[in-house]
Chain A
């Protein structure tokens, strides 16, 4: 499984739309096989999504992102785990443990953003990966478009 994380220095970039560096990880549960950093060749959103597709990314873990970017990623069949914040190592360790729903890894205002992010989820090819990390009560609410 290939995971991509837009990064800045040692942490997950605050906004994927405005970031040029991308960390790529080939991952199997419990261990990382390979790890390298690449640059998005363009700052335009469609070009960024095309790069993710070309790089055969399965999962995008990122900070905030625009609706446009989110829709394109999901339509491309890439699993999206957005509004994540923190240092790369902490985030990866939490991902390994299945612990990314911990408040300290979620960006402020994530509840509001997840509401629009979850809409139309079923119509799309990809999915929003955070659903499986959330407490069941929250996942059910957001799926219905509620709080």
Chain B
């Protein structure tokens, strides 16, 4: 609620402030006629002040909410302000733009509503900046600001160029298939098929026929030849997920494909040559399985030509805000919703969680929040209970919006760790002065091992 300014001098100052604010602002009287219109509003809508004054606000703003869900109407009727509602407008160039609107009623000194004020911000340009920033931290469909991940991003094109077998190791939900697809898309085989097989999902006998196919008469009901996944992936890439779950017998057959580049379909008498790149993935420690004689060591060495270990989300918590933002954009597109952002306190809450289900779990959490969130911002109340006791609340902190600090702390610690706790090296890598780094370490209360050297 905004009280009307009676004093002429105050009014002059208020006009000056409104004119200089970067957000679009206009005011209306009780008949929805525009009575003031600042330069930022002209910039966003494309309509000049002269054109706007005296016209109804719906003709001027041309927003998706004007006729059914007008924030100004709501604010003027209820007396409660409406904050950050994301809507679309059509500007004078005929372009659709996303804006975030807030509205409040204007009251006179007797408390009577005399009009309304609406402020709006072009979030289309914010989204563009986000996209530009995103490109720096993106490899195909994988996003990360984490140093370890970005090292992998740098190596992916090189790995993709060769035809060598790749072994992806990472916990469930870390996006192993995304990596496999990225490698395929970056490789010279990109125009050929990418075939994914989940080895853990099929019983052994079925998996064998699924991978290598069968000939007519190989078994009852095998009336016709059926090509296997290797044949379908010919010239392309086959992704064998959960490779650690295959039986010893199938391990032998797979070893032959890797060694000889040939296989025999079930019931076949001649070998078929396979020109397929193999990318295998597992969430198990294959080396440990080899030690326990559960996985053939010769197959392990054949698979382990290039190994990529994908860090779990708990080891790259600085990615949580970026990924949450990415999922919001994705679900907005899929579900035709207009959620603008996730609040800092919600991010802080997520950062304290360890995500045993990794990125997939974060994606599910955001998807759930989309169901509950009816406003423009996902906040803590839209997230599930992730801990029995919120460590932050237990510690007695009232304000949990420490997300940026936590992300910064995680980011600095990972940078320090990879530089053997050497502050000067770390400062150089991050492009900041060493005194800035020292100040940050102190202000964030980081416990940096004393064994680290402070000079480079």
Contacts and interface: CB of A to CB of B under 8 A. Distances in A.
Interface of A: 8, 13-15, 17-19, 63-68, 70, 85, 107-109, 112-113, 116-117
Nearest to B88: A18
Nearest to B87: A18
Given A8-B67, A15-B90, A18-B88, A108 B60 contact: yes
Interface of B: 45-48, 51-52, 55, 58-60, 62-64, 66-67, 88, 90, 92-96
B51 A67 contact: no
Contacts of B59: 14, 63, 85, 107-108
Contacts of A113: 92-94
A66 B95 CA distance: 6
B94 A14 contact: no
Nearest to B58: A14
B87 to A, nearest CB: 9
Question: 6 tightest CB-CB pairs across the interface, nearest first?
Answer: A67-B94, A108-B51, A109-B47, A112-B92, A109-B92, A14-B58
A68 to B, nearest CB: 8
Nearest to A43: B336
A108 B94 contact: no
Contacts of B48: 109
B403 to A, nearest CB: 35
Contacts of B66: 14-15, 18
A116 B58 CA distance: 21
Contacts of A13: 67
Nearest to A20: B68
B370 to A, nearest CB: 19
Given A63-B59, A108-B60, A109-B47, A18 B94 contact: no
Secondary structure class of chain B's binding surface, majority of residues:
loop
Given A108-B47, A108-B52, A109-B47, A66 B67 contact: no
Contact of B67 (A18, A64, A85, A117): A18
29 contacts: A8-B67, A13-B67, A14-B66, A14-B67, A15-B62, A15-B63, A15-B64, A15-B90, A17-B64, A17-B90, A63-B62, A64-B62, A65-B90, A66-B94, A66-B95, A67-B93, A67-B94, A85-B59, A107-B59, A108-B47, A108-B51, A108-B59, A109-B46, A109-B47, A109-B51, A112-B46, A113-B92, A113-B93, A116-B93
Contacts of B52: 108
Contacts of B90: 15, 17, 64-66
Contacts of B46: 109, 112
A113 B58 CA distance: 16
Contacts of B55: 107-108
B48 to A, nearest CB: 7
Contacts of B60: 108
A21 to B, nearest CB: 9
Nearest to A17: B90
A110 B96 CA distance: 16
A65 B96 CA distance: 9
Of A14, A63, A64, A70, most buried by chain B (CB within 10 Å of CB) is: A14
A54 to B, nearest CB: 23
A27 to B, nearest CB: 25
A13 B66 CA distance: 9
Nearest to B47: A109
A114 B289 CA distance: 71
A113 B59 CA distance: 13
Given A14-B59, A15-B90, A85-B59, 10 more contacts: A14-B58, A18-B66, A18-B88, A66-B94, A66-B95, A66-B96, A107-B55, A108-B51, A108-B60, A113-B93
A130 B88 CA distance: 26
Contacts of A108: 47, 51-52, 55, 59-60
Contacts of A109: 45-48, 51, 92
A81 to B, nearest CB: 15
A13 B438 CA distance: 60
Contact of B64 (A18, A63, A65): A18
Of A66, A67, A108, most buried by chain B (CB within 10 Å of CB) is: A108
Nearest to A86: B59
A106 B63 CA distance: 17
A142 to B, nearest CB: 14
A70 B67 contact: no
A70 B90 CA distance: 12
Given A18-B88, A108-B55, A109-B48, A67 B67 contact: no
A66 B97 CA distance: 10
A117 to B, nearest CB: 7
Nearest to B60: A108
Contacts of B62: 14-15, 63-64
